[in-house]
């Protein structure tokens, strides 16, 4: 079973790497700092390994590229989260893949406005993925994953893709295809993005940072990190998800 989970982990990590390479090529990503203190870490008994790297780039305020792997527990998780600068108002891009032990994935365009009142924003950025959301909801091979965390559910967009599935080859292929479609669509939005008026950028930056911090600190998975790594390292990991060096 452990060997099987490692194989699935490697497959999902390959998808994560492919997406990162696309983002790096388009957004001129640079590590910040070059020698990030969390780029390689492990639990006291070395049964759980991890890495957390952060980057900045063109219109990128913070990109988080991380993983945790606990093969003996059948658990793994990896993130590729891109937080944009306030110069543009395209949604942030979020990917998470893992095993628990079923395959898990979360893909989303994180809103940067009040979707209840900004219909134009909804139609521009969320209508294009509504059909993909409904398709997965109706696919018997995928089970909707609903977080127990109230804030997590509030944070997610109306068309977020958050599901579990088996490790069947066709399911993994569908995850890869959907993830690349999400990324490619988002990169087109970057190319076409209109600049945010200078007088509105400070408020947008403040909103983005507050969302980034609360979403990191309210993640239900933080309790698992504390149990595995201890409070000090877990706190550093959470801070690195939202706070720039």
pLDDT digits (tens, 9 = 90+) for 99-153: 988 999 999 999 999 999 999 999 999 999 999 999 999 999 999 999 988 899 9
In a domain, 155, yes or no: yes
- Number of Cβ within 10 Å of residue 208's Cβ equals 21
In a domain, 69, yes or no: yes
Structural domains in the chain (count): 1
Residue numbers of the domain that contains 107:
2-240
In a domain, 88, yes or no: yes
Query: What's residue 2's pLDDT?
Result: 45
In a domain, 217, yes or no: yes
In a domain, 245, yes or no: no
CB of 86 closer than 8 Å to CB of 78: no
* Average pLDDT of the segment spanning 85-108: 96
* Average pLDDT of the segment spanning 14-33: 94
Give the confidence band of 7 by pLDDT, cuts at 50, 70, 90.
confident
- Number of Cβ within 10 Å of residue 28's Cβ equals 13
Query: What's residue 33's pLDDT?
Result: 74
Q: Are strands 60-70 and 75-84 parallel, antiparallel or unpaired?
A: antiparallel
Residue 123 to residue 128: CA distance in whole angstroms: 8
Tokens of 124: 């521009």
Phi and psi angles of residue 145, each rounded to the nearest 5 degrees, phi first:
-105, 125
Give the predicted TM-score (pTM) of the model: 0.94
Q: What is the CATH number of the domain that holds 145?
A: 3.40.1500.20
In a domain, 28, yes or no: yes
């Amino acid at each position: 079973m452990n060997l099987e989970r490692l194989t699935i982990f490697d497959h999902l990590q390959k998808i994560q790497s492919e997406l990162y390479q696309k983002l790096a090529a388009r957004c001129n990503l640079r590590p910040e700092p070059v020698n990030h203190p969390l780029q390689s870490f492990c639990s006291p008994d070395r049964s759980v390994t991890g890495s957390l790297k952060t980057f900045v780039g063109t219109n990128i305020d913070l990109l988080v590229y991380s993983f945790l792997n606990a093969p003996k527990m059948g658990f793994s998780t990896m993130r590729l989260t891109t937080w944009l600068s306030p110069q543009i108002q395209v949604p942030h891009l979020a990917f998470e893949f893992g095993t628990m032990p079923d395959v898990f994935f979360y893909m989303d365009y994180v809103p940067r406005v009040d979707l209840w009142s900004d219909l134009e924003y909804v139609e521009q950025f969320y209508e294009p993925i509504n059909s993909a959301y409904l398709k997965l909801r109706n696919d018997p091979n995928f089970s909707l994953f609903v977080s127990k965390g109230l804030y997590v559910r509030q944070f997610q967009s109306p068309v977020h893709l958050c599901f579990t599935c088996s490790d069947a080859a066709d399911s993994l292929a569908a995850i890869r295809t959907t993830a690349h479609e999400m990324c490619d669509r988002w990169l087109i939005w970057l190319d076409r993005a209109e600049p945010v008026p200078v007088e509105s950028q400070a408020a947008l930056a403040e909103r983005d940072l507050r969302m980034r911090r609360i979403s990191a600190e309210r993640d239900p998975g933080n309790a698992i990190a504390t149990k595995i790594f201890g409070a000090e390292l877990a706190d550093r990991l959470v801070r690195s998800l939202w706070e720039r060096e």
